[in-house]
Structure 1
């Protein structure tokens, strides 16, 4: 099994095979640069690379994968203590790059885009680790997830079929290269299929138009507010959102501006993308689609019983299939279970389409013996035209146990009562926020997840 055929000379030569931060490498130069990196790190236990999107970062990451050395991407915005923890825990023995801040004691190997090599590197065994990715850290310390070459190849082949992805596509993304969506699906996916790859700066207010556009929900919300940029995406073939649920209001605005209904995809670091809809399937509002071929799911209630496929009953989603991880770097649960409990709450409809409600724990408000799912309230809030971002948590209440509390990033002029009434038009009285806090931004982890524990502590 060859994981990345484009690095084995199987792709047509292109002058702009990979474009990052305005710089580009041809197919031939990319292979030469990547092989030169692989020459220098071959035999290392694991290799760390700073996730700041540059050509050097991409070449370093691909060099590790090409050499068969587990790649450990470091979140650029992580606190120094967190970066050091990741380096120690992952077993990284080399750092690829120039300017890693902090006391780390790892030998550093610069990535020089002028260096080329034509050496041969044998394809590693399918079961070996390709990457060690760290989870989002929303519900606790991030965990190192070992993902094999076999799992990555299986996921990318299933996605290529579902999305009709071919070497004629141009993949444009702004998703982080230290997350599974940006690294595995975006970068490695383009190299496996043989399509061109363009990575946008995260502060971009416009960009080149490809045939496939990958973005996070927060990025889609920003694009939906930028009418010229959104309208330019009508030239794309497919728009894809993953890593978190996409607000229906954002999806509808994108449809009106681009004539495309964004495809939602669902996965975790441990499962990779496990659910999505096919490029030619009709859109189901709020749904992330059905399991990929060979992937199985189950949604269990609090008594571990399967919930009915009625599109309303909520349970915890578990996944089983060829895309699952090999295990955690610190040991513990592995994919050999064979089921992985994601910790995400979901519903399943009669046609098999799933809808993600939120995370178990902080995404559940326990009020008067009832469970209120924060994701449903957040979805209602985000459908208001004056709301740019929202998070809902449960905070202590002297008679209810917990009350629904909303933190909202809103346009000037929005009032708490307006938003409470807006939620009431879509959901029951128990879902109406009792408190609404207006904030300039929501606290997020270095990996981009909303840190709801901080919101609960703030009250």
Structure 2
């Protein structure tokens, strides 16, 4: 069974799930999910407006346990994107704990309110593991978002693998405040506790104060969250009693890693994954955790690095290679896009992640970045943007940084840095700062001081947006 804690065979727990202070027991969640299952009987696919709420939890669980494919929809989605997702997925109903949400005014399919006070019975028939459980929409560099098909089997394997890596048991209490429509907050952060049997405290928003007050044993966050936690030392110190702090969805800057350790006594676990692969690499609860390392393949997963010719790269911790994955956690393809699906796999069945990494002799991986955005080819050199970003973040007046490769007539690409820092920061000095610490060809040729960096819901910097602004000439502070 995908969520054995809701099988009805084990003990009830009054605090199975708490969202922003609203608590539901295992028995009540099972009964509420049963009512949802009755409402959607006969449907093949349903969408769920995935606002952080107990009704959202009941809707997702009801869909999954009844064998209906669930399409989580961000609550802040725009009308055009909503229409695309609903039409492309073939969703027949949209389940909503907040049926009056503005985005639903012109919803093209029927909206079904979710009332957690209603009760029903689940069939008790476990869906076939090959059944599609979730269709998660992910955006690429071009075209509308693509539907990623994730089976019950992949979801099970993904949760079990990280539970093994992190020594996650039903004795833990997980605290997180991440969106319920991505792998991190939904599969790991919601379905994970319901599969493992540990209580979940969802803080609705991942603020330092809410994290500190939750008193959990495990905490999930993205780098932006951990940076904000460190900015409030009292809140950070309150996490010292936890067992594990997990960071993902983007690289954790070295200064934040160090500050988090200093304030909490914990070296955070970092992991790597994608919507298409779930979590595939992770440091371990009982193993070394080094800045920048995302550890080794989790149980049931294999990883390899290859060069431009497809040959293996040396495990020297320095040589870049294209990261490829295979194993039990992989998706079943992009909905309605068989050619696009085929393009992402090699002839021998490995998934091309599009990320570039290094691996050392011990088998630990470090993600350098996206091949399209984070590997800068300048004057014959291959330069990792992450290395320059890590260097700039050691400057005492720099708070945030993003490095990109901008088109250059002579070099092919030139290194450009976008900085969020103190008012007194002299941008030109950063060029010299990098040149003294790294090779000269890695220095930024231009530095732009900006008020903030564009990020998505999980805190990932949107480098394509920065390049567009750079091309349009609308960025201030060029040196």
**Equivalent position of 2:77 in the other structure:** 78
Distance, in Å, in 2 between the alignment partners of 1:279 and 1:113 is: 36
What SS class does the counterpart of residue 206 from structure 1 fall into?
helix
* CA 136–381 in structure 1, closer or farther in 2 if over 3 Å, else same: farther
**Equivalent position of 1:419 in the other structure:** 430
- Report deviation, 1:387: 2.8
Distance, in Å, in 2 between the alignment partners of 1:153 and 1:203 is: 26
**Equivalent position of 2:331 in the other structure:** 325
- Report deviation, 1:446: 5.7
**Equivalent position of 2:473 in the other structure:** none
**Equivalent position of 1:193 in the other structure:** 196
User: Which of the pair has the greater relative contact order for Cα pairs under 8 Å at 6+ separation?
Assistant: 1
**Structure 1 range deviating more: 310-319 or 274-283:** 274-283
* CA 347–108 in structure 1, closer or farther in 2 if over 3 Å, else same: same
Distance, in Å, in 2 between the alignment partners of 1:96 and 1:274 is: 31
- Report deviation, 1:425: 4.0
Query: Is residue 299 of structure 2 the alignment partner of residue 296 of structure 1?
Result: no
Superposition map of 1:92-131 within 5 A = 92-97=91-96, 98=99, 99=101, 100-131=103-134
Is the contact between residue 178 and residue 206 of structure 2 (CA under 8 Å) also seen in structure 1? no
- Report deviation, 1:321: 0.5
Is the contact between residue 161 and residue 300 of structure 2 (CA under 8 Å) also seen in structure 1? no
**Equivalent position of 1:214 in the other structure:** 220
**Equivalent position of 2:62 in the other structure:** 63
* CA 382–47 in structure 1, closer or farther in 2 if over 3 Å, else same: farther
User: Which of residues 238, 262, 269 in structure 1 aligns to 2:268?
Assistant: 262
* CA 79–438 in structure 1, closer or farther in 2 if over 3 Å, else same: farther
Distance, in Å, in 2 between the alignment partners of 1:313 and 1:432 is: 20
Is the contact between residue 11 and residue 27 of structure 1 (CA under 8 Å) also seen in structure 2? no
- Report deviation, 1:65: 1.1
**Equivalent position of 2:22 in the other structure:** 23
For residues 211-252 of structure 1, the C-alpha deviation after alignment (integer angstroms, 9 at most, x for no partner) is 010011121111121111111110100011111111121111
Query: Is residue 398 of structure 2 the alignment partner of residue 387 of structure 1?
Result: yes
Is the contact between residue 363 and residue 375 of structure 1 (CA under 8 Å) also seen in structure 2? yes
* CA 119–72 in structure 1, closer or farther in 2 if over 3 Å, else same: closer
**Structure 1 range deviating more: 419-428 or 92-101:** 419-428
User: Which of residues 171, 176, 190 in structure 1 aligns to 2:179?
Assistant: 176
Query: Is residue 4 of structure 2 the alignment partner of residue 35 of structure 1?
Result: no
Is the contact between residue 271 and residue 323 of structure 1 (CA under 8 Å) also seen in structure 2? yes
Distance, in Å, in 1 between the alignment partners of 2:198 and 2:43 is: 29
- Report deviation, 1:85: 1.0
- Report deviation, 1:429: 1.3
- Report deviation, 1:357: 0.5
Distance, in Å, in 2 between the alignment partners of 1:34 and 1:140 is: 35
**Equivalent position of 1:432 in the other structure:** 443
**Structure 1 range deviating more: 431-440 or 176-185:** 431-440
For residues 188-224 of structure 1, the C-alpha deviation after alignment (integer angstroms, 9 at most, x for no partner) is 0100000000112326231212101001112111112
- Report deviation, 1:14: 2.1
- Report deviation, 1:139: 6.4
Distance, in Å, in 2 between the alignment partners of 1:424 and 1:225 is: 29
- Report deviation, 1:119: 4.2
**Equivalent position of 1:89 in the other structure:** 88
For residues 332-374 of structure 1, the C-alpha deviation after alignment (integer angstroms, 9 at most, x for no partner) is 2169862110000100100000000110112222211212221
Distance, in Å, in 2 between the alignment partners of 1:126 and 1:260 is: 37
Query: Is residue 449 of structure 2 the alignment partner of residue 443 of structure 1?
Result: no
Query: Is residue 237 of structure 2 the alignment partner of residue 231 of structure 1?
Result: yes
Query: Is residue 357 of structure 2 the alignment partner of residue 346 of structure 1?
Result: yes
**Equivalent position of 1:278 in the other structure:** 284
TM-score by length of 1: 0.95
Unaligned residue ranges in structure 2 (runs of 5+):
471-479
Q: Matched residue pairs, number?
A: 458
Distance, in Å, in 2 between the alignment partners of 1:252 and 1:384 is: 14
Is the contact between residue 206 and residue 221 of structure 2 (CA under 8 Å) also seen in structure 1? no
- Report deviation, 1:445: 4.3
Q: Superposition RMSD on alpha carbons, in Å?
A: 1.9
- Report deviation, 1:379: 2.1
Is the contact between residue 166 and residue 194 of structure 1 (CA under 8 Å) also seen in structure 2? yes
- Report deviation, 1:144: 1.1
TM-score by length of 2: 0.91
Is the contact between residue 223 and residue 459 of structure 2 (CA under 8 Å) also seen in structure 1? no
For residues 395-425 of structure 1, the C-alpha deviation after alignment (integer angstroms, 9 at most, x for no partner) is 2334333211111222332221343333334
- Report deviation, 1:306: 1.0
- Report deviation, 1:331: 2.3
Query: Is residue 382 of structure 2 the alignment partner of residue 371 of structure 1?
Result: yes
- Report deviation, 1:442: 1.7
Distance, in Å, in 2 between the alignment partners of 1:411 and 1:52 is: 35
Distance, in Å, in 1 between the alignment partners of 2:152 and 2:450 is: 42
Distance, in Å, in 2 between the alignment partners of 1:196 and 1:211 is: 10
